[in-house]
Amino acid sequence: MSNSMIDSFNEPLDTPKPATSFKAGLVNAEHKIARMTRDATDKVTSIADNISNTGEQIVESSRQYVRQNPIKTVAVAATVGAAAGSLATAIFSWRRSKRSQDK
């Protein structure tokens, strides 16, 4: 046997080969991506929970306000409804008059 063959048999087995090194890199990248995905999922879940809790607090405080001020609440609702109705009427009237002018 030649010396080069003997030398290749004497190499330590844990010497990284290119394919092994590439595979280890892929596995490492996969673990990093999985960790980043878990972290992102945890953050999004936390934000969604905070938004949900804030929404529930707003609804509850609105209900309390309506219970404590029923007349004021009805007056505000009626005013907003009248304003929205007037605005809708004005828009539809303007469109109707514009169409009749275009003919």
**What is this structure's pTM?**
0.46
Flag whether pLDDT at 1 surpasses 50: no
Tens-digit pLDDT profile for residues 14-73? 555 666 788 888 888 999 999 999 999 999 999 999 999 999 999 999 999 999 999 999
How far, in whole angstroms, is CA 40 from its chain's centroid? 10
> Phi and psi for 12 in degrees, rounded to 5?
-65, 145
What DSSP letter does each residue of 29-46 carry, written as one string? Answer: HHHHHHHHHHHHHHHHHH
66: number of Cβ within 10 Å: 13
- Regarding predicted confidence, which is higher, 43 or 6? 43
Q: Could you give the C-alpha distances from 101 to 10, 31, 37, 80, 90, in angstroms and in order?
A: 98, 69, 60, 32, 16
pLDDT value of position 103: 65
**DSSP 3-state of 15:** coil
